[in-house]
Structure 1
Amino acid sequence: MSYVSQSPVQNAINKASTNLFTFAYRNVAKKMFFAMPPDKAHDAMISGCAAAGRVKPLMWMLREMLDYTDPALETEVMGIRFDNPFGLSAGLDKNCDLPAVLDAAGFGFETVGSTTARPCAGNPRPWFHRLPDYGSMVVHAGLANIGSDKVIARAEKAYTNAKTMKMSVSIARTNDNLVGDLDEGIADYRTSFERAVGRTNMIEVNVSCPNTMAGEPFTSDPNNLDRLFSELDKVDRPQPVLVKLPLNKPWPEFKELLDVLAEHNVQGVSIANLQKDRTGMDDVPADWKGGLSGLPCRKRSDALVAQTYREYGDRFAIAGIGGVFTPRQAYMKIRAGASLVMFISSLMYCGPQNITTLKRGLVELLHEDGFDNVAEAVGVDVR
């Protein structure tokens, strides 16, 4: 679908609606959710959005009020045409409950999961702790999901029914007491990978979840990563594949992983997973297990995006993740080399209407710098 710029009337309605949603979220919904324990609030949000997504008149109204469009946002990445470069990162919509709401709100794409070959209960609760002073959450969910057979079936339905949003599914290794050796892990990935073939726009392979029993064997040793993708390369698929990489690798080790992926049928990389380093955050209780989302990820993510783009150019499409609360933060990732931008934490702290703020603000920043579209700005700071 190709968009023309919104009319002045549509633009005014969209601005007013966004302001109204922002006021309502800040003064009503956010206060209600933040009065609950984070795990309970998360579950309530997921179930509420899933229910709302089944009410078609409500989704029509949401689209009419919030979905800001502009030709400058349209972009083609890995052969896929996106109406805008903004997507939900894996980790929030574990079981594919949110596509209808996100599509109506105007997301360019969504990544569901990460999902695993076997249903996974996840780590012991609590899974989340809020860190509002840091724009972050401590996340320790441990890949809880209902299993890739069911999640991918839901993703396929969303892929088929979506009006504009593209669908990606993130697959990971099952985190349970049946975890075995490396061969078992590779077989586990392949099971989910085969289930996803032809059923979504993209597949993301998450090799960097920091909260699992098996650890991260595929990023600790490049030879293990090579073995995994040598197996996945045997599976024919029409979709592009991205690999979600760890945040806390020094560049030489990170580059070793990229060098391996460059030899395989991999089109993109998601940079990056949760922040493990809590330096300067001494007030965060040590017994709060998990990685940090949001703003603590931003600087390191931007640096890895820039270095990857600088050294690999167009070999990999880059999806930049971490600390995207404002249009300028998104724009910095794009100028560093990201063709797509993903986030989660700003949804909780700013509200679902923030997708509109990000899109509108990005268009303004692009035009201020003389760019006609997103693609023109990708990597300009490191070219």
Structure 2
Amino acid sequence: MIYGLATRALHILPPEDAHSLTILLLKAGLGPVSRLNTPQLAVDVPYEGGTLRFPNCIGLAAGFDKNADVPLAMVRAGFGFAECGTVTPLPQDGNPKPRLFRLSEDQAVINRMGFNNKGLDVFLRHLEHINAHRKGAVIGLNIGANKDATDRMADYVTGLKRLWGQGSYFTINISSPNTPGLRALQGKSYLDDLLGQMAETRAALVKVSGSNCPIFLKIAPDLTEAEIADTVTSTLDHRLDGLIVSNTTLSRDGLVSALAVESGGLSGAPLFELSTRALKTARAASAGKLTLIGAGGVSNGAQAYAKIRAGASLVQLYSALVYTGPRLADRIRRDLVLRLKADGFRSLTEAVGTDA
């Protein structure tokens, strides 16, 4: 109950101030601690040279913990994995404030943050501390490009090189709508170039370090079916391990909040149907050859289960925490266990893609 009250109290503050305070409270050790054991929800993700085990399928999406301040606190709260970032090579302030908006009537959020973060140097220092206390926690590293970079593809290569060996997996974020021109990297010619450079860099890093890890590509939900199919082809051609479907949307269909006129990426409940359709398209195009992470609009067990049945091996959420509080991961996990049992599945893996 105390966390529910705290969540409502935070709504007194402007959204970005509330988020900053939440990070401070988590850093102070004031977050919940999960005691829930759900082995049925464990997921093994294969990659060249190994397998990464996720203790449960519910993950924290990037954007919540941009500077790798509190991933272990979120894992303690019941998340099976926490994705940090997006981090860019150099620090940047992001877009002018206000840039984060609660659309309470729609259970949604609009943000135009613009990759605000403290840069790779601070991110790395935080990871060094985290890795000293990690104890097997699955931590994802989401990398991006600086707004004013003359060569954005080089920024992704820099992120991969400097962070190699510091996390459990990488995510290449080319789908944020809040950095002008970034989504152009999703075009086939640009994407092939970028993923080719990432694959080449990865091969060199594996040769030197002797270790590998999964790399995912995060895509927008606004892509057409043909564009998603092209993205899947490029991802397979360059031997990445999967897709995160999806980032925020530019769509405003069906919103009732007066704040719907704000520019930026929309997340939360209205994104669920759009992102799930994109997920099903990616599943069909990849024929099960890629690991898919379903993100967008998940706030309960029914929605997480729908993502899984649509083809997602893992599920991420973030915006729903604004309205439900930090115990959401455990509530969803309990519900998923019941749903799997009711449908005769012994494990989550058996349910993946059964409605795709």
Q: TM-score, normalised by structure 1?
A: 0.86
Whether 1:206 aligns to 2:173 is: yes
Q: After TM superposition, give the deviation of residue 148 of structure 1 in Å.
A: 2.0
User: Does the CA contact (< 8 Å) of 1:83 and 1:164 recur in 2?
Assistant: no
Question: SS of 2:44's equivalent?
Answer: strand
Question: Structure 1 residues 110, 156: closer, same or farther in 2, change over 3 A?
Answer: farther
Residue in structure 1 matched with residue 28 of structure 2 by the alignment: 51
Q: After TM superposition, give the deviation of residue 354 of structure 1 in Å.
A: 1.0
Question: SS of 1:361's equivalent?
Answer: helix
What runs of 5+ residues in structure 1 fail to find an aligned partner? Answer: 1-22, 53-57
Q: How does 1:220-299 map to 2 (within 5 A)?
A: 221-235=187-201, 236-237=205-206, 238-281=212-255, 283-285=257-259, 288-299=262-273
What CA deviation, in whole Å up to 9, does each residue of 1:84-118 have, x standing for no partner?
A: 01110011100111123112112110100000011
Q: After TM superposition, give the deviation of residue 73 of structure 1 in Å.
A: 1.4
Distance 1:42 1:155 in 2: 21
User: Does the CA contact (< 8 Å) of 1:74 and 1:374 recur in 2?
Assistant: yes
Q: How does 1:358-377 map to 2 (within 5 A)?
A: 358-377=332-351
Q: Which has the larger radius of gyration?
A: 1
User: Does the CA contact (< 8 Å) of 2:229 and 2:285 recur in 1?
Assistant: no
Aligned length, in residue pairs? 344
Distance 2:231 2:251 in 1: 20
Question: SS of 2:275's equivalent?
Answer: helix
Q: TM-score, normalised by structure 2?
A: 0.92
Residue in structure 2 matched with residue 24 of structure 1 by the alignment: 2
Residue in structure 1 matched with residue 18 of structure 2 by the alignment: 41
Distance 1:350 1:209 in 2: 24
Distance 1:157 1:100 in 2: 11
Distance 2:260 2:347 in 1: 44
User: Does the CA contact (< 8 Å) of 1:156 and 1:200 recur in 2?
Assistant: no
Distance 1:24 1:157 in 2: 29
Q: After TM superposition, give the deviation of residue 195 of structure 1 in Å.
A: 1.0
Q: After TM superposition, give the deviation of residue 347 of structure 1 in Å.
A: 1.3
Whether 1:155 aligns to 2:127 is: yes
Whether 1:132 aligns to 2:104 is: yes
Question: SS of 2:126's equivalent?
Answer: helix
Question: Structure 1 residues 307, 211: closer, same or farther in 2, change over 3 A?
Answer: same
Amino acid at match of 2:200: K
Distance 1:82 1:215 in 2: 30
Residue in structure 2 matched with residue 71 of structure 1 by the alignment: 39
RMSD of aligned C-alpha atoms? 1.6
Distance 1:156 1:318 in 2: 28
User: Does the CA contact (< 8 Å) of 2:103 and 2:259 recur in 1?
Assistant: no
Name which of structure 1's ranges 82-91 and 28-37 shifts more when overlaid on structure 2: 28-37
Distance 2:13 2:224 in 1: 38
Residue in structure 2 matched with residue 111 of structure 1 by the alignment: 83
Amino acid at match of 2:248: L
Distance 1:91 1:133 in 2: 22
User: Does the CA contact (< 8 Å) of 2:72 and 2:137 recur in 1?
Assistant: no
Identity, % of aligned pairs? 31
User: Does the CA contact (< 8 Å) of 2:42 and 2:53 recur in 1?
Assistant: yes
Moved over 6 A (4+): none
